């Protein structure tokens, strides 16, 4: 059985990660119309919007889960976002991830090990539809979104903006579930299936010395108990 082109990914237990909070990140737009107007204005200045998003995996009950931001009751999105004009995709994705997920304490910065592109979606028009191809007769799509798989370290501390909620959703819950997650996120199970996911079981806690250092640095003593990784 060859493993032709199937990269191996380690997926660690969700309990290996600490989830704290940090200052809120305000949304730039308060509704879809505002968002589309801004897209249009930027398109006229800079051309096609480029976005990069991260697929971050954790393991729970021996099944892979994807980390998603949940907005309100029914809107989910992957961490990541719009790249600056000319910005390198991987650098831009790391910037977005640190902005949205890393603690402000410099000693706790996460090294984002960005892997390969798993899918690419295009927005052909100034509306909310995306497709995993450029539809015929479209010569200038308005946005290109690339989804990268990111290998998480064995352990790390996340800091989630106070106005946002991070959830870990099982892959089986995303599958064939366009009504709840939309076409991009519900296609994740299929695009992830080419990876060989090495599900890691719960690991012993780090040695006491290291643990002490971590507590000293992170300052999330109490917030660690508000772990935000409930499957919806």
- E-assigned strand segments in the chain: 8-11, 17-22, 49-60, 63-71, 75-77, 80-82, 113-123, 143-151, 156-161, 165-170, 196-199
Total site size for its own copies, rule CB under 8 A? 41
> Using the rule CB under 8 A, which residue among 32, 71, 178, 202 binds its own copies?
178
Phi-psi region of 182 (alpha: psi -120 to 50; beta: other; left: phi over 0): left
13 touching its own copies, by CB under 8 A: no
User: What is d(CA 82, CA 93) in angstroms, rounded to the nearest whole number?
Assistant: 9
Among residues 130, 122, 119, 128, the alpha carbon closest in space to that of 189 is found at 119
Site pattern 181..220 for its own copies (x: CB under 8 A): --x---x-xxxxxx--------------------------
46 touching its own copies, by CB under 8 A: no
131 touching its own copies, by CB under 8 A: yes
Q: How far is the CB of 80 from its own copies (least distance, A)?
A: 14
120 touching its own copies, by CB under 8 A: yes
Contact set for its own copies, span 49-68 (CB under 8 A):
50, 61-64
Neighbours of 129 (CB within 10 A): 11
Of the pair 1, 26, the CB lying nearest its own copies is at 1
Sole window of 12-20, 99-107, 129-137, 157-165 interacting with its own copies (rule: CB under 8 A):
129-137
User: What is d(CA 11, CA 202) in angstroms, rounded to the nearest whole number?
Assistant: 11
Of the pair 134, 219, the CB lying nearest its own copies is at 134
SS3 4: coil
Which residues contact residue 198 at a Cβ distance below 8 angstroms, ignoring those fewer than 6 apart? 8, 9, 10, 11
User: What is d(CA 152, CA 229) in angstroms, rounded to the nearest whole number?
Assistant: 15
Structure tokens at 56: 């971050």
Q: How many residues does the chain have?
A: 232
Sole window of 16-24, 34-42, 131-139, 153-161 interacting with its own copies (rule: CB under 8 A):
131-139
> Using the rule CB under 8 A, which residue among 114, 151, 167, 182 binds its own copies?
114
Site pattern 141..170 for its own copies (x: CB under 8 A): -------x---------------------x
Residues forming the site for its own copies (CB under 8 A) = 1-2, 4-6, 50, 61-64, 88-90, 114-121, 131-133, 135-136, 148, 170-172, 175-176, 178, 183, 187, 189-194
């Amino acid at each position: 059985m060859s493993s032709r082109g199937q990269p191996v990914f380690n997926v660690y237990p969700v309990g290996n990660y600490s989830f704290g909070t940090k200052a809120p990140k305000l949304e730039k737009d308060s509704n879809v119309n505002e968002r589309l107007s801004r897209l249009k204005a930027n398109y006229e200045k800079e051309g096609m919007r480029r976005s990069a998003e991260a697929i971050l995996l954790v393991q729970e009950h021996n099944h892979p889960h994807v980390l998603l931001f949940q907005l309100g009751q029914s809107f989910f999105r992957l961490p990541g976002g719009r790249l600056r004009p000319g910005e390198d995709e991987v650098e831009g994705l790391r910037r977005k991830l640190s902005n949205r997920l890393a603690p402000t304490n410099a000693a706790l910065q996460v090294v984002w090990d960005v892997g390969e592109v798993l899918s690419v979606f295009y927005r052909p028009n100034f509306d909310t539809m995306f497709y995993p191809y450029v539809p015929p007769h479209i010569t200038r799509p308005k946005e290109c979104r690339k989804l990268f798989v990111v290998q998480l370290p064995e352990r790390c501390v996340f800091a989630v903006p106070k106005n946002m909620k991070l959830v870990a959703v099982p892959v089986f819950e995303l599958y064939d579930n366009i009504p709840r997650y939309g076409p991009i996120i519900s296609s994740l199970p299929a695009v992830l299936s080419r990876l060989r996911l090495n599900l890691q079981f719960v690991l012993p806690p780090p040695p006491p010395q290291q643990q002490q250092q971590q507590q000293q640095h992170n300052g999330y003593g109490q917030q660690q108990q508000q772990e935000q990784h409930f499957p919806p």
